[in-house]
Amino acid sequence: MDVTTTANRGEAGQTVIEGGAVVAVDDAGTEFTEGHVVVEGDRIAAVGPGSAPAQHGPVRRIDAAGCLVTPGLINTHHHLYQWATRGYAADATLFDWLTELYPVWARLDEEITHAAASAGLARMALSGCTTAADHHYVFPRDGGDVFGAVVAAAERIGVRLHAVRGSMDRGRAHGGLPPDSVVEDLDDALAGTQEAIDRFHDPEPGAQVRVAVGPCSPFSVSTDLMRQAAELARRNGVRLHTHLAETADEEQRCRAEFGRTPVEYADELGWLGPDVWLAHTIHLSDKAIARIGETGTGAAHCPSSNGRLGAGVAPVRQLMDAGAPVGLGVDGVASNEAGGLGEELRQALLSARARYGPWALSVRDALWLATRGGARCLGRDDELGSLQPGKLADIAVWQLHGLDHAGIADPVAALVLGRLPKLARLLRGGTAVVENGRLVTAPEADLTRELHRASARIRTLEAS
């Protein structure tokens, strides 16, 4: 059964979602077995039990009977360009996987990147995601405007984008992993980062695109670039993001080269604080967890990618208990070929319980990670991540009335533990991105053809 929509003639000034379960993910834990959400423009105007009160003016009504209404999901870590290189190095650890894929990524160009990013954002939207952080750090010398291609893809699909302008200045000639052909020198990396902020960053409330600063990792970036990138970010009032503590190999390498753990190294360079969020954070001591928590540093937990590469299981419960903002990430789909954010709720819960026991993560914890936790990581808890009046109307309406979820009384348990439900609606700022399980912003057939062509081209370029 599809969710039905009715509207008065003319331009709808309001949208009313009613008849389904509503889980607000607010501090009070507000939930309604049957409730309503009223949207005015791009903001939530009201949330409450039962049917919505009578509204004045044109109203678009969405009948959500048999559905669960939640905030739109927030992806805190991705590499969208990797949609063109799925399936490589299927049985490799992180360093071996990178060694195989860096030469392939050296063939990226603007066209391949746009096709990959469009397909990746479409897949995320179809899994309930309304905001995505993408970490792009590969800039081939003849690749064109690859960063702009990612921004254009987000505008095409209609998902909010936190575009992390990554960088690498430490190629193989200087003891790093990437080929020298895909690294920049320090000055070019900093200039490119400043240009990205000047071109694309919107600091205003309700922004569609924001830019963050993101040197890639300790084994592909010099100490000078790490330090100066943090200074540049803070001069511009933008956030900082990098990979950290992803593997045991990284821990050993940091100790051997810098005499410090990854967290100690980051701390020394100014890379801990409430304006920073880190990807993976798997291999952490109790001391490191406490330091991340006390500095308010965020963590992007990527359970499927961590499992695909055999990297380990992040101590999510411990980080949350220490006060750190923790969100969910898909990561690049060369290490998570499924590419959907909604599936990561279940994966996060299962991996946490398998490693730390049955109380490590609840179904509501998993939903919190994908909404409020993600909003906190991205510095947008004031306008994203919960269904509250005044916040942006980024809303997912999940269909729970079919065979896959019949008989599960708790709708949050149905969402997290069951098969990922079909989306009845996905609204970004009150505007539909998905309706009745179908993307409405771009034809999926076009996206599929473009992705096939991009994946074939990068293989052809690799072989030439």
Residues 89-137 have pLDDT tens digits of 999 988 899 889 999 999 999 999 999 999 999 999 999 999 999 999 9
pTM to 2 decimals? 0.96
Give dist(CA 284, CA 273) in Å, integer. Answer: 17
Task: Please compute, for residue 207, the number of CA atoms within 13 A of its CA located in the half-sphere on the CB side.
Answer: 18
Residue 93 tokens read as 């650890």
pLDDT reading at 223 higher than 50: yes
User: What pLDDT sits at residue 6?
Assistant: 44
- Nearest CA to 217 out of 267, 176, 257 is that of 176
Same fold, 4-71+389-436 and 73-377: no
User: What pLDDT sits at residue 12?
Assistant: 46
Using CA of residue 380, residue 381, residue 387, residue 389, what is the dihedral sign?
negative
pLDDT reading at 7 higher than 80: no
- Region of poorest pLDDT, from 104-108, 147-151, 264-268, 363-367: 104-108
Chain centroid to CA 102 = 22
- In sequence order, which ranges of 396-443 are alpha helices (DSSP H)? 411-417
Residue 41 tokens read as 């423009």
**What digits encode the pLDDT tens for the residues 386-421?**
999 999 999 999 999 999 999 999 999 999 999 999
User: What pLDDT sits at residue 39?
Assistant: 97
Give dist(CA 4, CA 215) in Å, integer. Answer: 46
pLDDT reading at 83 higher than 80: yes
Share of the chain above pLDDT 70, in %: 97
pLDDT reading at 13 higher than 90: no
How do 423-428 and 4-7 pair as beta strands?
A: unpaired
User: What pLDDT sits at residue 463?
Assistant: 54
Domain 73-377, CATH among 3.90.550.10, 3.20.20.140, 3.90.480.10, 2.70.70.10: 3.20.20.140
- Which pLDDT band, with edges at 50, 70 and 90, does 172 fall under? confident
pLDDT reading at 212 higher than 60: yes
Distances (CA, A) of 54 to 39, 57, 58, 350: 13, 10, 11, 43
Total count of residues recorded for the chain:
464
User: What pLDDT sits at residue 95?
Assistant: 87
Which parts of 177-239 are beta strand (E)?
Answer: 209-215
pLDDT reading at 209 higher than 90: yes
User: What pLDDT sits at residue 410?
Assistant: 98
pLDDT reading at 238 higher than 80: yes
Three-state DSSP at 391 gives coil
Which parts of 108-177 are beta strand (E)?
Answer: 129-136, 160-167
Give dist(CA 196, CA 148) in Å, integer. Answer: 8
Task: Please compute, for residue 20, the number of CA atoms within 13 A of its CA located in the half-sphere on the CB side.
Answer: 28
Give dist(CA 83, CA 252) in Å, integer. Answer: 30
- Region of poorest pLDDT, from 215-224, 313-322, 437-446: 215-224
User: What pLDDT sits at residue 57?
Assistant: 83
- Which pLDDT band, with edges at 50, 70 and 90, does 460 fall under? confident
Which parts of 127-176 are beta strand (E)?
Answer: 129-136, 160-167
Do residues 155 and 123 touch, judged by C-beta distance below 8 A? Answer: no
User: What pLDDT sits at residue 174?
Assistant: 83
**What digits encode the pLDDT tens for the residues 40-66?**
999 999 999 999 998 888 899 999 999
- Region of poorest pLDDT, from 296-300, 352-356, 442-446, 457-461: 457-461
Say which DSSP state 392 is in. Answer: B
Do residues 36 and 52 touch, judged by C-beta distance below 8 A? Answer: yes
Give dist(CA 200, CA 427) in Å, integer. Answer: 23
Do residues 111 and 454 touch, judged by C-beta distance below 8 A? Answer: yes
Residue given tokens 């269904």 in the structure block: 387
Mean of all residue pLDDT scores within the chain = 94
pLDDT reading at 2 higher than 60: no
Residue 212 tokens read as 């963050």
Domain ranges for the chain:
4-71+389-436, 73-377
Question: Does the domain made of 4-71+389-436 have the CATH classification 2.30.40.10?
Answer: yes
User: What pLDDT sits at residue 310?
Assistant: 95
User: What pLDDT sits at residue 462?
Assistant: 60
pLDDT reading at 28 higher than 50: yes
User: What pLDDT sits at residue 436?
Assistant: 97
